[in-house]
Amino acid sequence: MDFSLSPELRDLQARVRAFIADEIIPIESDPRQTSHGPTPELRADLTAKARKAGLLTPHASKHLGGMGLSHIEKAIVFEEAGYSHLGPTALNVHAPDEGNIHLMEQVASEAQKDRWLRPQVAGLTRSCFAMTEPPPGAGADPSMLMTTATRDGDDYIINGRKWFITGAVGADYVIIMAKMADGSATMFLSDMDRPGITITRQMDAMDSCFAGGHALMEFKDVRVPASDVLGEVGKGFRYAQVRLAPARLTHCMRWLGQARRAHDVATDYVRHRQAFGKPLGEHEGVGFMLADNDLDLMTARLHIWHTAWLLDQGERCNFESSRSKVACSEAEWRVVDRCVQMLGGQGVTGETVVMRIFMDMRAFRIYDGPSEVHRWSMAKKILASNEQRS
């Protein structure tokens, strides 16, 4: 594996870094941010800046207007975008749209791409992904899916409830995961204004970085034409892995940028803040935290790059994706937690951006699969692999 960056990629990295520093960080205090994420007006202004800079939706294929980035290239660009909590929204690489764009490129028909994907790549629309359900429905265990799709002539009738649906409020279309009569799953595409789709409420959450926040949705006798099936009937679980394996990794990339930002803020603080006759950073306890941050940042970056390299080789990488999700979410969380400690009182107030990063990032150890579920999945594969070698 050669992780050296080409001159072209270094140039792109520098462009994104300068864009975030010059155009995005100065407006991080824009009042058009709510507890449920940036308003549509703020998002439109952010994407306009990225469009002008030639950096909008860089992960989409070139024929759709993106840069056609490889996974390694995304690792570089997404980390730089993540240095500001508004950066992923500006570049249109935020969740869940980034993962949905990837899935739609892989699976959608040309007619579906023209209808839903192209406007999204252009930054004109948003989407959401409706899979997680209230108990007793699907959570970390997708086999518990309760939302149903029943064939009725040339249509399907969808009924069910979903929750923790990121970006539902303000989304233009939704990808719905539903169970078929034979127990398999199918994905369906629908405009959000289709009769029978209701957002029952937004959920209050620690994080506030996702446009539209998180919501509960209800699907009551929603009639979806068979032409709006995403991919093939019965292959929903397979397509979920097409989406989720890379999406877990891109989460790691974006949050690495936020962790690096917190580390930079804390490092600058302990370099100048005096206590007991010298800067805080010269005290051994604080110095150890700086060193541990550096170790965790590099650990996360290497996990990301390794899994990205494998994906670029065409590997499925479900095991490596789980490993990276656990390693990165835990390492990046430790970095931000130490930064709060180093900043002391400033770390638990809005005096710096670190408190916000802390609150936004905590959920990363839970969504797209809690660390414990990924560890359990990895353990099963490790045991099965060892048994085959015995």
> 379 with 338: CB under 8 angstroms?
no
- DSSP letter assigned to residue 315: -
**Chosen domain end from 195, 213, 233:** 233
In 3-state terms, what secondary structure has residue 248? helix
373 and 280 co-located in one domain: yes
Does 1 map to a domain?
no
Find where tokens 């249109």 sit.
Answer: 92
Please indicate whether residue 360 or residue 386 has the higher confidence score (pLDDT).
Answer: 360
pLDDT of residue 385: 85
Q: pLDDT over 90 for what percent of the chain?
A: 93
Band of pLDDT at residue 209, cut at 50, 70 and 90: very high
Band of pLDDT at residue 390, cut at 50, 70 and 90: low
303 and 179 co-located in one domain: no
270 and 377 co-located in one domain: yes
Region 79-90 average pLDDT: 98
63 and 152 co-located in one domain: no
The two tokens of residue 210 are 């996702």
Region 187-216 average pLDDT: 97
Does 112 map to a domain?
no
CATH number at 44 reads 1.10.540.10
**Chosen domain end from 208, 233, 258:** 233
Encode pLDDT of 96-125 as tens digits. 999 999 999 999 999 999 999 999 999 999
Does 105 map to a domain?
no
Band of pLDDT at residue 6, cut at 50, 70 and 90: very high
- pLDDT score of 168 more than 70: yes
pTM of the entire predicted model:
0.95
β-pair partners for 155: 152, 225
The two tokens of residue 176 are 């719905």
252 and 379 co-located in one domain: yes
As for how many domains the chain has, the answer is 3
Residue range of the domain that includes 135: 127-233
pLDDT of residue 186: 98
258 and 344 co-located in one domain: yes
In this structure, the number of other CB atoms found within 10 A of the CB of residue 2 comes to: 6
- pLDDT score of 388 more than 90: no
247 and 380 co-located in one domain: yes
**Chosen domain end from 77, 94, 111:** 94
Does 314 map to a domain?
yes
267 and 360 co-located in one domain: yes
> 342 with 363: CB under 8 angstroms?
no
247 and 224 co-located in one domain: no
Encode pLDDT of 221-273 as tens digits. 999 999 999 999 999 999 998 998 889 999 999 999 999 999 999 999 999 99
Region 297-303 average pLDDT: 97
Does 31 map to a domain?
yes
DSSP line for 55-120: -SSTTS-GGGTS----HHHHHHHHHHHTTSTTHHHHHT--TTHHHHHHHHHHH--HHHIIIIIHHH
DSSP line for 188-199: EEEETTSTTEEE
Band of pLDDT at residue 387, cut at 50, 70 and 90: confident
256 and 370 co-located in one domain: yes
In this structure, the number of other CB atoms found within 10 A of the CB of residue 373 comes to: 17
pLDDT of residue 137: 96
245 and 220 co-located in one domain: no
224 and 280 co-located in one domain: no
Does 316 map to a domain?
yes
DSSP line for 130-142: E---STTS-SS-G
DSSP line for 279-337: EGGGSHHHHHHHHHHHHHHHHHHHHHHHHHHHHHTT---HHHHHHHHHHHHHHHHHHHH
Encode pLDDT of 14-43 as tens digits. 999 999 999 999 999 999 999 999 999 999
In this structure, the number of other CB atoms found within 10 A of the CB of residue 357 comes to: 25
Does 106 map to a domain?
no
In 3-state terms, what secondary structure has residue 385? helix
Does 77 map to a domain?
yes
Band of pLDDT at residue 3, cut at 50, 70 and 90: confident
**Range with the lowest mean pLDDT among 66-75, 147-156, 238-247, 264-273?**
238-247
CATH number at 154 reads 2.40.110.10
**Range with the lowest mean pLDDT among 99-108, 190-199, 288-297, 381-390?**
381-390
How far apart (Å, rounded) are the C-alpha atoms in residues 35 and 24? 19
CATH number at 316 reads 1.20.140.10
Q: Kindly report the average pLDDT of the chain as a whole number.
A: 96
How far apart (Å, rounded) are the C-alpha atoms in residues 200 and 220? 12
